[in-house]
Amino acid sequence: GAGVSQSPRYKVAKRGQDVALRCDPISGHVSLFWYQQALGQGPEFLTYFQNEAQLDKSGLPSDRFFAERPEGSVSTLKIQRTQQEDSAVYLCASSSARRSNQPQHFGDGTRLSIL
Amino acid sequence: AQRVTQPEKLLSVFKGAPVELKCNYSYSGSPELFWYVQYSRQRLQLLLRHISRESIKGFTADLNKGETSFHLKKPFAQEEDSAMYYCARIRWYGTSGSRLTFGEGTQLTVNP
């Protein structure tokens, strides 16, 4: 595909359940980012990968959030024991280079609703 | 902490009128700023970046370091400009990479 692909587009879970969100970046893109966008807010940074290395996870709101990118391409964001405040759109973005001003390309996001 | 502020959540203008979406940032070194746009039912996409000094879809944005602003302007708004606009600032990790800090966004509505 030509762009960043995220699945599922929508996810509804009950409080306390675990969820896994998937991101397929643009082929060959080295950098991958996860953002959380609450209703009425701008995206907020969660974590950043360069290839398979997670270089920054300072934006993850709690230890219930975990992200991985084991082979340097597809990434998964996992949320354990979900809470209502986890309800948000989760955006994935990828970029072609390590240090540059190349723009980040965003996916459509996964809209997560916790009941 | 680096902050990006968009003071207007909603902005409504008539077609053909000038439009200015405000963006201010907290001062820290040499900022690199972007405007992203999200049209209805579409993904977030880059509109323009200050280092390019370009005009995209008639929009321009000038970095004003004295006022720490990066306002987005268009002299004659069109209905298809209706969208959510986000100002963003890049933060570099040494030689390793970067991340974006976004403002809260401004919903622009251009009325016929």
* pLDDT per residue as tens digits for the range B80-93: 999 999 999 988 76
Distance from the B107 Cα atom to the nearest Cα atom in chain A, whole angstroms? 10
Tell me the chain A residues in contact with residue B32 when contact means C-beta distances shorter than 8 Å. 101
Cβ B100–A45 below 8 Å, yes or no? yes
Nearest to A42 among B93, B96, B102 (CB): B102
- Cα distance between residue B31 and residue B16, in whole Å: 32
The answer to whether the CB of A32 falls within 8 A of the CB of A94 is yes
Which residue range(s) make up the domain with B90?
Answer: 4-111
Q: How confident is the model at residue A2 (pLDDT cuts 50, 70, 90)?
A: confident
Assess B57–A contact: CB distance below 8 Å, yes or no. Answer: no
Predicted local confidence at residue A98, as pLDDT: 59
pLDDT surpassing 80 at residue B52: no
Using an 8 Å Cβ cutoff, are B67 and B60 in contact?
A: no
Task: Take residue A17 and report the two structure tokens written for it.
Answer: 């359940």
A27: number of Cβ within 10 Å: 9
Q: Kindly state whether A44 is in contact with chain B, defined as any CB-CB distance less than 8 angstroms.
A: yes
The pLDDT score that the predictor gives to residue B37 is 96
The Cβ-side half-sphere exposure at A25, using a 13 Å CA radius, reads 28
Domain membership of residue A108 as a residue range: 5-114
* CATH number of the CATH domain containing A82: 2.60.40.10
A73/chain B closest Cα distance in angstroms = 16
> pLDDT by residue (tens digit) across A78-100?
999 999 999 999 999 998 865 55
Q: How many residues does chain A have?
A: 115
Percent of chain B with pLDDT over 70: 96
Note whether A31 contacts B: Cβ–Cβ < 8 A: yes
3-state helix, strand, coil in chain A (%, to 5): 5, 50, 50
* Amino acid at position A100, single letter: S
pLDDT at position A101, please?
A: 62
Q: What pLDDT band is residue A103 in, cutting at 50, 70 and 90?
A: confident
With residue B9 as reference, give the H or E element that holds it.
Answer: none
Q: What is the mean pLDDT of residues A25-45?
A: 93
Of B44, B101, B105, the CB nearest to A91: B44
pLDDT at residue A109 in the model = 97
Smallest Cβ distance to B96: which of A4, A50, A101?
Answer: A50
pLDDT confidence of B107, banded at 50, 70, 90? Answer: very high
pLDDT tens column, B61-78: 988 888 999 999 999 999
What are the residues whose beta carbons fall under 8 Å from the beta carbon of B108, sequence distance 6 or more?
Answer: B11, B12, B13, B19, B21, B77, B81, B82, B83, B84, B85
Q: Give chain B's domain count.
A: 1
The confidence score (pLDDT) of residue B31 equals 83
Q: Which of B35, B82, B39, B81 is nearest to B62 (CA)?
A: B35
The set of residues, in sequence order, having a beta carbon less than 8 Å from that of A87 and lying 6+ positions away, is A38, A112, A113, A114
pLDDT value of position A23: 98
Is A105 in contact with B34 (CB distance < 8 Å)? no
CATH number at B40 reads 2.60.40.10
Integer Cα distance of B68 and B30 in angstroms? 11
Domain count, chain A: 1
Q: Is the pLDDT of residue B29 over 80?
A: no
